[in-house]
């Protein structure tokens, strides 16, 4: 990956701990998926908890990428977050790109 000043990609030399606003990670579906019946309690319990009720959750950042989103190029952070299902039986690490202002250093005093 090219890391010069004009490059659109800037990897970090080492991953760093950050906090991410979970409400800024996900794009919600515009409508519910077609179903035969209502979701069961088991389906709800085995779903990944996105922590939308928490303001900041821990994540790791690996780099930056500049995207042309609209007219102005904007920096996005490449992150990973560890999530569990509601019933706490399954864990998954998800990788995502988030806008620059959706993260902050984990050591921040906020």
Is the residue at 1 inside a domain? no
The answer to whether the CB of 61 falls within 8 A of the CB of 100 is no
User: Mean per-residue pLDDT for 81-106?
Assistant: 95
Q: How far apart are CA 69 and CA 110, in angstroms?
A: 28
Neighbours of 41 (CB within 10 A): 8
Whether 26 has a pLDDT exceeding 60, the answer reads yes
User: For 38-48, what is the mean pLDDT?
Assistant: 88
Q: Which range marks the domain in which residue 99 is found?
A: 9-25+47-103
Mean pLDDT of 27-51: 86
Residue 39 has pLDDT above 50, yes or no: yes
Flag whether 41 is in a domain.
no
Q: pTM here?
A: 0.82
Identify whether 76 is part of a domain: yes
Instruction: Quote the number of domains for the chain.
Output: 1
């Amino acid at each position: 990956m090219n890391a010069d000043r004009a490059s659109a990609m800037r990897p970090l030399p080492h991953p760093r701990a950050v906090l991410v606003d979970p409400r800024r990670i996900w794009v919600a579906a515009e409508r519910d998926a077609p179903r035969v019946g209502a979701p069961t309690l088991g389906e709800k319990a085995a779903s990944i908890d996105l922590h939308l009720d928490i303001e900041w959750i821990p994540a790791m950042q690996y780099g930056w990428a500049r995207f042309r989103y609209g007219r102005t190029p904007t920096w996005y952070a490449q992150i990973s977050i560890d999530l569990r299902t509601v019933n706490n039986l399954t864990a998954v690490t998800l990788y995502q790109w988030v806008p620059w202002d959706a993260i902050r250093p984990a050591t921040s005093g906020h």
